[in-house]
Structure 1
Amino acid sequence: MVLTPEQIIAANKANLETLNSLTKNAFVGVEKLLELNLQVVKTVIHEHLEHIQATANVKDAQTLLSMQAQFLQPFAEKMTSYSRHLQNISNETQSAMRSTAQEEMRARSTNLKNLVSEISTTPPTSGEQMVGSIKQAIANANQVYEYSQQAIQQVIEISSQQRQTLKDTAFKVSEEFSKLTTKK
């Protein structure tokens, strides 16, 4: 059995569609992550400005220290909430990508079964052509699997980097506030 140009084009088209779907899933995850981070930045800026305005009229150090402590108190809860949101985004993205990869693997499996069925009903012109056809089908399935795993790994890495960056920033801000409160 020889792969026709139409079959090769169809396989390549299926690969591109799968890659496109995986890429869209990854970008949806990145988009959600960006939206979350923008919301966090807006909230932090708003709360910080409110805090600055509230502390601007303070006349004694004790009141200022009390206000600083109240400002920092909900910080751990906010970090936990942010981490939960990151985890949800990561889980949703991984689930979508896994689903796409599974659908593609099912389609490839069906195609492989059809190919085997076709080979068994029509005698191949040569054993080499039959082996080449099977190798091509397996290579296509493996390629889709590798693409999906790479895309999932990229989303996980981006999520982890964003989470670590926020934690580092939060700890730096906390240290700066601690330094400010101990100086006054």
Structure 2
Amino acid sequence: MTVKPEDFAAAQKASIETFFAITNKAFESIVKLTDLNIATAKDALAQAAELSEKALSAKDAQAFVAIASGTAQPTAEKALVYSKKVYEISTSAQAELNKFVEAQVAHNNKQVAQWIDDASKNAPQGSETALAFVKSAVANANSAYDSLSKAAKQAVEMAEANVEKAVKATKAK
């Protein structure tokens, strides 16, 4: 099998397009996280100012303790909501990256299969065993990748379910 310059150029172009698509998705996620962090910081600052005013207006130590203890639950809820949003942004970015990886793996599998077919057409007599071994190795690698991919997706689904349960449990309190 010979590689033509056009094939190489097409592969390079596809790689560059994929790189920029992944980079754009990464920057979109960074922007979302930055926006979330800015909003969270503004909210925390406003909450601190409000709490300071309440604390300064407390008539005695008991009132001060009541004010301070009354902020624990809302603060925990906000932290959980923040964590959930970070998790959602992260899993969304991961899902997008997985789409690119899966597409690339599918493309590479097709290309390897084509190379093996081309090699088998031009292979010397007696190399059938070696080619069968290569085909088997590729099939086993693809099967292992599929299994790992499914396991990773299940782990993400379980983690999402656990985060959702934690949010619901906190809101119920």
TM-score (norm 2): 0.62
Cross-structure match for 1:104: 104
Cross-structure match for 1:65: 65
Cross-structure match for 1:24: 24
Cross-structure match for 2:5: 5
Secondary structure at 1:74 match in 2: helix
Cross-structure match for 2:40: 40
Q: What is the alpha-carbon root mean square deviation over aligned residues?
A: 2.5
Separation (CA, whole Å) in 2 of partners of 1:94 and 1:8: 29
Over residues 46-101 of structure 1, what are the superposed CA-to-partner deviations in whole Å (9 max), with x where a residue is unaligned? 11111122233223222112111112332222222222222212211111100111
Indicate the larger mover: 55-64 or 30-39: 55-64
Over residues 80-131 of structure 1, what are the superposed CA-to-partner deviations in whole Å (9 max), with x where a residue is unaligned? 22222222122111111001111122222233334444555678xxxxxxxx
Cross-structure match for 2:77: 77
Query: Within the alignment, does 1:55 sit opposite 2:55 as a pair?
Result: yes
Separation (CA, whole Å) in 2 of partners of 1:105 and 1:24: 20
User: Counterpart of 2:44 in structure 1: which amino acid?
Assistant: V
Q: What does 1:28-177 correspond to in 2, within 5 Å?
A: 28-118=28-118
User: Counterpart of 2:88 in structure 1: which amino acid?
Assistant: N
User: Counterpart of 1:57 in structure 2: which amino acid?
Assistant: S
Give unpaired runs (5+ residues) of structure 2.
124-137, 139-173
Separation (CA, whole Å) in 2 of partners of 1:110 and 1:35: 41
Separation (CA, whole Å) in 1 of partners of 2:35 and 2:75: 20
Q: Count residues with an aligned counterpart.
A: 125
- Give the % identical residues: 27
TM-score (norm 1): 0.58
Instruction: Compare relative contact order (CA 8 Å, sep 6+) and give the higher one, 1 or 2.
Output: 1
